[in-house]
Chain A
Amino acid sequence: MMQASDRPLRAVPPLRQSGDQSAEPSTEDLLALVATGDQDAFAVLYERCAGQIYGLVRRILRDPAQSEEVAQEVLLEIWRHAPRFDPQRGSATAWIMTMTHRRAVDRVRSEQSARDRDDRAGLRDDPVHGIDVVAEEVEVRMEHQEVRRALDSLTQLQRQAVELAYYGGHTYREVAQLLGAPLGTVKTRLRDGLIRLRDEFGQSQ
């Protein structure tokens, strides 16, 4: 039996690609092992990714108990679907965070639709207030300087639209309503905002 250890786990740099020369296996390597049903590899993967998954779900859902449930759903989906991961289409971390975000947003829209509709009605009356709440929370809890810097490079409308959609779990139609902007404009800002972020991330690497 292996020894339990209290030693904290090292955080893994975002989106590390396979082929790294470090001692730790890449997330891609771990997923390949998990795909064969390897529970030990999954346990290592868990230590690396659980906080990333739980953190993102909680950012979107807020409620800790619900967030834990959705995080558990995501982790089981990773276990079940690891054989279907295709490294040609992106990094393992991107695959995991994509599943995480999708499930969190789906939960927001199904579970809390009634409550959200009420909230949105409130926000419609006072759009500025709603935006401030989201923006403030994002600022306070933002851990990665790099992400903050990249978001700072966006125009105000790009940034608000991206944050309301990604961290707020809103549809682009809701974002348009919240910002009082035309639908077409919001669609475009979401896309060119992401492209701008991509360029910013590219420069900082």
Chain B
Amino acid sequence: MSVDIHTLIGAYVLDALPADERAHFERHLTECDVCGAEVNELLGVAARLGLSAVEPAPPSLRRRVLDAIDVVRPLSPRADLQRPRSWGRRLALVAAAAGLVAVGGLGVQLADRADPALDAAVGQVLAAPDVRTVVLDSDRGVEATLHWSPERDEGVLIAAGLPPPDDGGVYQVWAHREGEPRRAGSFDAAGKATVSQVVRGLRGVQQIAVTIEPDEGAVAPTGPVVLQGALA
């Protein structure tokens, strides 16, 4: 058996194993150092193939990713790396690379990030193995993404640049299932550069939309659609 399984190294490294054989091989990897060493070496070779495909990423990607990391924390660091968080700190390292990148304004957004319950919920969704990212359409220049996990049946809506709704209204999230809109949470955007909102009950939902409603009591969308996207 072990002779057989060694021959799967190339297919494993190239992600060319079907799911069941991949799982089987990964179990083998936990107990075979020889395969482990060869896999690590050949993954470096495969990475070289990957680098040759480089092309410029769309500018919208940067904004969305940096917005998302603003509301999500990394997994618990290894003990030897742990040190006090000091978000405002400008690293000597970045100074050395001055001009490389614009990071202005981050400090402002960080002030409103401290909500441990939200942070945990967001973290759980993003850590789900089946998490999917859907970029929502906006005709108002709002950068918004829904990260959702079909298995957990919940998602996190992250939007940057939403102005506070007019006249004390709210942003209402709608989940459309077979054409039927259902309320899926509401929020205001007051004083926040980046909004993150947990959305539950997404299984079987084809479409998600955010409208502006006069209050939280709306049972069907009446106001203008600010964001929308297809889940299925």
Contacts and interface: CB of A to CB of B under 8 A. Distances in A.
B58 interface: yes
A47 interface: yes
Given A32-B81, A143-B54, A76 B135 contact: no
Interface string B181-221: 00000000000000000000000000000000000000000
Contact of A83 (B70, B74, B126): B74
Contacts of B75: 80-81, 83-84
Interface stretch (A54-62, A114-122, A126-134): A54-62
A197 B45 contact: yes
B104 to A, nearest CB: 4
Contacts of A79: 68-69, 72, 74
Contacts of A44: 93-94, 97, 100-101
Contacts of B178: none
A36 B76 CA distance: 9
A135 to B, nearest CB: 14
B104 A1 contact: yes
B103 A40 contact: yes
A18 interface: no
Interface in B39-89: 40-58, 60-62, 64-66, 68-70, 72-78, 81-83, 85, 87
Q: Which of A29, A59, A109 has the most CB of B within 10 A?
A: A59
Contacts of B98: 2
Given A69-B133, A80-B72, A198-B44, 19 more contacts: A1-B104, A2-B98, A7-B100, A39-B70, A41-B94, A43-B102, A52-B51, A71-B57, A71-B61, A72-B61, A72-B65, A73-B133, A76-B69, A83-B75, A84-B78, A90-B41, A90-B44, A93-B51, A101-B50
